Structure 1
Amino acid sequence: MRQVPEYKNNDAIACIFRQIARCYRYLGGEGFRVAAYQGAAEMLLNMREDIAVYASDIKRLEALDHIGERMAMKITEYLQTGKIAVFSHLKKQVPYGLLELMDISGFGPATLRILYDRLGIKNEDELVEALNDHRLDGVKGIGKRRVENMKVLLAVTRRGQPVSLTDARRIGTALVGLLTKIPGVQRAELCGSIRRKKPLVGDIDILVLAEPEARRAIVQTFIASRHVLRVLVSGVNKASVLLRCRHIQVDIRLMHSREYGAALLYMTGSRGHTVHLRMIAKEKGYMMNEYGLFERATHRKIAGSTEKEMYRALGLKYIPPELRLNNGEIESAGLSRAMHM
């Protein structure tokens, strides 16, 4: 069986399941299958362990929410081969490059079928070219107003350029204010590049603390905001959206207060820094993720409520966010703590 980092299997399989759901949605008449694959994808993304731990016990796998016998077989197929045959088959039946547009209001399956069946348009770039060449003008089922709406939507949904730290912090602070007004939100904090004070920011990451029972309503309220142009991902514990303002991507993650430090460390990055920390954790017999630091053998939680607790459990001094570059700061923190002791 393929060896991959923790949770990578969950993300990969969830992505495939969502694409399968899109394929069935495009083909039509498969509402049950669409809901089944979307439910399974959401379950995978919200798991606290890699789905591969269930691979040796098919009955336990089938017993998970939204899985069942057929979905379990597809998960096992991916874990053994790295692919799912039904997905490869479905991609040949649809204009795969167009399917992501179904997440945009106004680009439903019926519209995409017209674009593909009548004009042979197979992806977003070909659609933009057809719009610029006026090839959609007069096509039955696509009126003049819809053509103009397509032009506007495609022009603004393409992700914008990185923004300055000042602008990103201003936008992010406004979003934190919006989130903290939603019932059930205990706290919201900017993470990622903003917290690391990078001069240019590509997207905005926000950590939200909330009890599990309140999270679905929080996510739905957030993605329904007038500031959101396009929903990229929506689950119980996370959401990714594209803003109308500067077309910036915003990622929010909902966690429990006891996981705050681990989640803040994970969402702040940099990626190189957190990967290095995970390597140290592994060497010490631990497993580190966004939920905390755990003993690998017993799964007993070692740390997670604060960042300082996480660093201390790894034998390191606390490292400020702006220094987390994986450029020698971890080695210095270990040496400094050893000298202090």
Structure 2
Amino acid sequence: MPSSRFLLIASVLCGLAVAAACNRAAAPTAPPTPSVAATSASDGSTLNVTAPVPTSPINSAQVTSAPTLVASAATGAGTAALQYRFELFNEAGTRVEQSSLVSSPSYQVTATLDFQKNYTWRVRAEYDSRVGPWSSTAKFVSPNGGYIRTGEVFDPLYNGATVGERVGTTTFVANGIRTDTSTSYVRYLIPGSVTAGEFSVEVSGLRPNAAGDKNKVFAMSSDGADFITDPYRVDIQYRGSAGFPPNAITFRCLYGSADALDVRYEPDTTTRLNSAINLDPNTVYFWKFSWGSEVRLTVRQGSATGTILYNVGVPATHGTYRPSPWYAYIGAPSGRSGAESASTPGAIYKNVWISSRARPF
């Protein structure tokens, strides 16, 4: 009997031990977090993760617009959500930009870069106020200041040069190029054509009640014998004192014919009459015209994200915008309407962008 009792007690104890072991196995575990270094490493890091590895741009590659800095992710953090901080330095070694913390090892530069200069950058991982080691530095060369490519133009203009052709009297000033008379403009001959895209530019020097009628801010055409009768004419207007009405912002776009009304796209008369705005010549305005299945003109105060002053679109249901050759202008040629309906004297332009791509800056 004692032997049986002993066996029973042993069996119960064994069962309890197995149950306890199962309960311990089922207990939830917290996700791993990055370990903290006992002391700061020689590189100043306090987080036990690897340094990210820069992947683009590297090896002194030349970029054509504000670059996106890209690196591989840091490792060693388990499932923790690392964040990343980027730093950008100029040729003198001065830091010109430091990003806020971002969720992935990718960051688009927002600093204004000097043209044709060497820049270096680095990145590190961070977690909960702890920092990993900096990556090795990577190098790129900033844009050379402007270009004309198939279907695309970038022309900063505030660097005292243009990739276009200057016609008439124009003057480079501190913040761009100025059209000095109603017959002066800058012309771009663009290889290829773009059936849907945008033409955007920053403009100052526009004033209310300026001399002229249908004064042009910028334009496009296929460079026919007469700009006004060109079948692919686009003219973006800020009307002068003789305009109807004065100081109106408006536009006209032709999709292949100067005569056929079904491919002429412009705001109706009521919209135009309600679009008179007194612009300040000391203020920069961002103008953007887009075309495709709709034509639209947007004007903002200050920048591409500034207050909208004008935003009018018209569905383009017939025809296709396909000029050949393809010309674009800041200002515009006179055409048969004469100088009073051409460029705006005193307008100052910078950062011209023409492309099927969205403006990258």
Structures share a fold, TM > 0.5?
no
Higher helix share: 1
Q: TM range, normalised to the smaller chain?
A: under 0.3
Normalising by structure 2, report the TM-score: 0.20
Report 1 or 2 for greater relative contact order, CA contacts < 8 Å, sequence distance ≥ 6. 2
Q: Kindly name which structure, 1 or 2, has the bigger radius of gyration based on alpha carbons.
A: 2
Higher strand share: 2
